[in-house]
Chain A
């Protein structure tokens, strides 16, 4: 199991062996995606059909946000719902009807599947179709699964976006090529990206998911896909099935990743090189300057990633190449070689990659390596700190704007802060 990965001679880690592990996985399920997705799609409501555990997870993950008139809730399955399926369906109809009456501002309702709803084989797709008919045209109802059986953390976003792909309008037959940026991004980041695309001369750019559910971007053979997040396997597959072409690019994390990401779009749209450089170079330079301070602190430090969000590979690439950090192990819940091809090529050769998890074995490796910084979930962070290891809790990397040039230094700061804090504390 614990095979040591031999260094390879080819470009980066494209063909590098991966330690594939099974065992206890210390990860979130896909329901957690709701916590940021509901902030993004402003007229959508997320109704989890699950158990008290699901409600408790959302409550724990959402923290105090739960009181700001949240647009998510759980229909908690009770003993009597387990008695018979017909009953569960009519119960669901009752809950949805009441919810829609109570929240007239909702235009899109997601029925979100959970482990319990899947195990009792409650068909939420059919429920969504049935309910959509009764509430058309005011509310659309769609279903996706955020269960731990099917999804790990950010894969919830993938499942949610995939459920929206069939609703996207088709592009006109003679439509000129357009760019579709896929993956929920902070609005400030989205706005920066939109401005930069305009500056380099790519006019038709749409973002998916949109901020409002009735504003779904069109998709078709002229659509070029640029993934902003590495965890969108199913969404990309469905978009490609509708004719879109995916652009191979690194993810827009750090200066290099962002430049490569814009570069891929620029090549696809035949942007003039001088114009591209004129727009990109000053931004890249500014970001590099901002990064320099953090690089001083972080260069040479060793870094260990526990699996969490699938952002680990791009983050490791950024940390190694732009911050000069040494990678001990890069763990990811799921490694999509196709979508990560450009990233793997940039990873330092010989980087130890692991997919899946056996958390106790991985903790043994982490303790043996004594990394300078460990990126891990909140269930592991304080216990590792108590053992003397500096940690960076990984969820923050999802909730903080980290993509693009202007955020590159903020991203570096997230890695630097725990180390700075350690050096400051004298107790």
Chain B
């Protein structure tokens, strides 16, 4: 058993719902107890769908267990078919129905419906949402496109000289983070390259569309978490190559254009030359100089985390100080990316592990999911959301892709806005003793939480810091971060471990009052790091009292 408060991913049958809901003409009959219909809310509320998800639940109760739940399942399938008249049917079990061991596939087959029925085996106690979505899409593609497969070993017929190259776009689903606008953006890119889109799937596709996937020349895989498995099968069956680059960021978009052009045998030069993204100029403009070397921690699904790290390092000049994912299926790719930035990869689905890693890395910006947004708020660190799971505000009304040129513009704004812009940061430093700009004043856009900016290192002090600063020192700061790190420690190690500074130090470190005062003159957003560095410096030299001189010795030692 695993003690869980937050989960990054839903159970796998929710992944199957994301495929069914994305499509037209598909219905999903889910053997599930009363109450599992809660998942409908994800679609009707978070994504604000105007229709109910095309899912019929058997909603069995205790009294049904004594009788025939298999019969109940068959009745549900029959009634759902008659009412909704789908072109294809998905059948499967949720976690509880998996335990009672009715066989949805066999039961549905026995009804001999005149449409394709796709049985789903989604092991709810091993796998999760994205795996469920990928598996469901793969099964659908096999069932519906499979009958159109050429005999094994046949060569892909060459495209006619006047035919435009055709591709499928694979991966966008319901409840996908910015899938709606990514499809629009990527479709535009493909059109500019002269590539025709054959089918977009599963989003908006019908079973008939899935059946003609094989007609395209190649596949564009937008979200490997969802479409990798299906794309592999299409490659084996129809000889369709697929794209490997996900076009998130300016560099990745350029690589993607080159990759597609090669697959389609067209010239990428005109499209590359016309690259209309504003992000590169914005990043070069002098106001962005202050972004140089900002410490950024990245966590999300593998695709978005890897893409965000590249943008952060190569396109904004940040320093990536942490990179991780909850997508175990793509852990290898994330490990490889982490190696590129020289950071330890974090592969976990426990948000407390992520919280501990963030606290330890002292980032100045966190790029993550909804959970990291809350963690960052708690730690007083600026944050932007780059990946699911996300809440309702990240299914925006406005056009907000992550991919392509416009996506790069959106990401520049998204990453930079939580930080202070250059001029604001400069003014804050100049007027740091001013009553409105003093060192403990939070930037207006962060609200009160920002006053906890240095919480992690304050918490690391054995004794509370004396309130010597002329400016108010935040009082109840230690509790939250201490609780957070203690919590993380308990969950990972069973026994609470003391916080880092105390553990490493045999003698408790003490800050002289004037050194503490001096420390508070340092802008709050780098103060945590200054405190940590100074303490490490003092420990390494066996000093127990930190004076102003120690502070500046450490500063000189660590200056980059």
Nearest Cβ on chain A to B522's Cβ, whole angstroms: 29
Q: Pick the contact of A148: B11, B36, B125 (CB < 8 A).
A: B36
Interface string of A52-88 (1 = CB under 8 A from B): 1101110111011011011011111111011000001
Contact A69 B52 (CB under 8 A): no
- Give Cα distance in the complex from A425 to B11, angstroms: 38
Contact B34 A25 (CB under 8 A): yes
- Give Cα distance in the complex from A49 to B128, angstroms: 18
Q: Is B490 close to A, CB under 8 A?
A: yes
Q: Is A14 close to B, CB under 8 A?
A: no
Contact B3 A379 (CB under 8 A): no
Q: Pick the contact of B38: A30, A57, A75, A94 (CB < 8 A).
A: A57
Given A56-B11, A148-B61, verify A79-B126 contact (CB < 8 Å). yes
A134 partner residues in chain B, CB cutoff 8 A: none
Q: Identify 17 new A-B residue pairs, CB closer than 8 A, beyond the known A119-B100, A380-B44.
A: A24-B76, A27-B34, A27-B37, A52-B11, A56-B39, A59-B5, A66-B6, A74-B4, A79-B123, A102-B491, A115-B33, A150-B62, A360-B79, A377-B41, A378-B45, A382-B50, A383-B50
B123 partner residues in chain A, CB cutoff 8 A: 79
Top-10 shortest CB links A-B: A29-B35, A148-B35, A379-B40, A386-B50, A148-B34, A115-B96, A51-B95, A148-B33, A149-B62, A75-B1
Interface size class of B (residues with CB under 8 A): 35 or more
Interface string of B1-30 (1 = CB under 8 A from A): 111111101110110000000000000000
Interface string of A378-410 (1 = CB under 8 A from B): 111111001000000000000000000000000
- Give Cα distance in the complex from A61 to B45, angstroms: 12
Contact A78 B34 (CB under 8 A): no
Contact B1 A51 (CB under 8 A): no
Nearest Cβ on chain B to A36's Cβ, whole angstroms: 16
Q: Is A95 close to B, CB under 8 A?
A: yes
Interface string of A116-153 (1 = CB under 8 A from B): 10111000000000000000000000000001111010
Contact B41 A75 (CB under 8 A): no
Interface string of A9-29 (1 = CB under 8 A from B): 000000000000001111111
20 contacts between A and B (CB under 8 A): A23-B79, A29-B34, A31-B35, A53-B36, A53-B96, A57-B35, A64-B391, A72-B5, A73-B3, A73-B5, A74-B3, A77-B1, A81-B125, A91-B1, A94-B1, A95-B3, A148-B96, A149-B34, A149-B65, A378-B44
Contact A98 B99 (CB under 8 A): no
B487 partner residues in chain A, CB cutoff 8 A: 102
- Give Cα distance in the complex from A100 to B315, angstroms: 47
- Give Cα distance in the complex from A382 to B48, angstroms: 7
Given A24-B59, A25-B37, A52-B11, verify A380-B6 contact (CB < 8 Å). no
Contact A119 B96 (CB under 8 A): yes
- Give Cα distance in the complex from A75 to B100, angstroms: 20
How many residue pairs link A and B with beta carbons under 8 A? The number is 183
B44 partner residues in chain A, CB cutoff 8 A: 378-383
- Give Cα distance in the complex from A92 to B58, angstroms: 30
A74 partner residues in chain B, CB cutoff 8 A: 3-5
Contact A53 B11 (CB under 8 A): yes
Contact A98 B96 (CB under 8 A): no
A115 partner residues in chain B, CB cutoff 8 A: 33, 35, 95-96
Given A52-B7, A56-B7, A378-B44, verify A27-B99 contact (CB < 8 Å). no
Q: Is A99 close to B, CB under 8 A?
A: yes
Q: Is B471 close to A, CB under 8 A?
A: no
- Give Cα distance in the complex from A81 to B49, angstroms: 37
Contact A116 B95 (CB under 8 A): yes
For window 104-146 of B, CB contacts with A under 8 Å fall at: 123-126, 128
Given A24-B58, A102-B490, A148-B35, verify A78-B2 contact (CB < 8 Å). yes
Closest chain A residue, CB of each to CB of B123: A79
Q: Is A174 close to B, CB under 8 A?
A: no
Nearest Cβ on chain A to B8's Cβ, whole angstroms: 10
Nearest Cβ on chain B to A427's Cβ, whole angstroms: 12
Given A27-B35, A55-B7, A148-B35, verify A60-B2 contact (CB < 8 Å). no
Closest chain B residue, CB of each to CB of A70: B5
Q: Is B463 close to A, CB under 8 A?
A: no
A63 partner residues in chain B, CB cutoff 8 A: 391
- Give Cα distance in the complex from A152 to B37, angstroms: 12
- Give Cα distance in the complex from A382 to B52, angstroms: 8
A28 partner residues in chain B, CB cutoff 8 A: 35, 38
- Give Cα distance in the complex from A296 to B299, angstroms: 53
B99 partner residues in chain A, CB cutoff 8 A: 82, 116, 119-120
A88 partner residues in chain B, CB cutoff 8 A: 1
Contact B95 A59 (CB under 8 A): no
A116 partner residues in chain B, CB cutoff 8 A: 95-96, 99
Contact A95 B1 (CB under 8 A): yes
Contact A53 B4 (CB under 8 A): no
Q: Pick the contact of A67: B41, B83, B378 (CB < 8 A).
A: B378
Nearest Cβ on chain A to B263's Cβ, whole angstroms: 38
Q: Pick the contact of A49: B1, B33, B126 (CB < 8 A).
A: B1
Nearest Cβ on chain A to B76's Cβ, whole angstroms: 7
Q: Is B57 close to A, CB under 8 A?
A: yes
A55 partner residues in chain B, CB cutoff 8 A: 4-5, 7
Q: Is B437 close to A, CB under 8 A?
A: no
For window 72-92 of B, CB contacts with A under 8 Å fall at: 76, 79, 83
B496 partner residues in chain A, CB cutoff 8 A: 102
Interface string of A245-289 (1 = CB under 8 A from B): 000000000000000000000000000000000000000000000
Q: Is B229 close to A, CB under 8 A?
A: no
Q: Is B483 close to A, CB under 8 A?
A: yes
Contact B57 A24 (CB under 8 A): yes
B60 partner residues in chain A, CB cutoff 8 A: 149
Contact B33 A149 (CB under 8 A): yes
Q: Pick the contact of B41: A25, A69, A150, A378 (CB < 8 A).
A: A378
B5 partner residues in chain A, CB cutoff 8 A: 55, 59, 66, 70, 72-74
Closest chain A residue, CB of each to CB of B51: A383
Given A77-B1, A382-B44, verify A67-B374 contact (CB < 8 Å). yes
- Give Cα distance in the complex from A102 to B391, angstroms: 29
- Give Cα distance in the complex from A70 to B294, angstroms: 33
- Give Cα distance in the complex from A238 to B402, angstroms: 57
Given A101-B490, A102-B490, A378-B41, verify A152-B34 contact (CB < 8 Å). yes
- Give Cα distance in the complex from A277 to B4, angstroms: 53
Interface string of B252-285 (1 = CB under 8 A from A): 0000000000000000000000000000000000
B36 partner residues in chain A, CB cutoff 8 A: 29, 53, 148
B378 partner residues in chain A, CB cutoff 8 A: 67
Contact A149 B50 (CB under 8 A): no
- Give Cα distance in the complex from A26 to B51, angstroms: 15
B513 partner residues in chain A, CB cutoff 8 A: none
- Give Cα distance in the complex from A28 to B487, angstroms: 30
Q: Is B397 close to A, CB under 8 A?
A: no
B327 partner residues in chain A, CB cutoff 8 A: none
Contact B49 A61 (CB under 8 A): no
Q: Is B158 close to A, CB under 8 A?
A: no
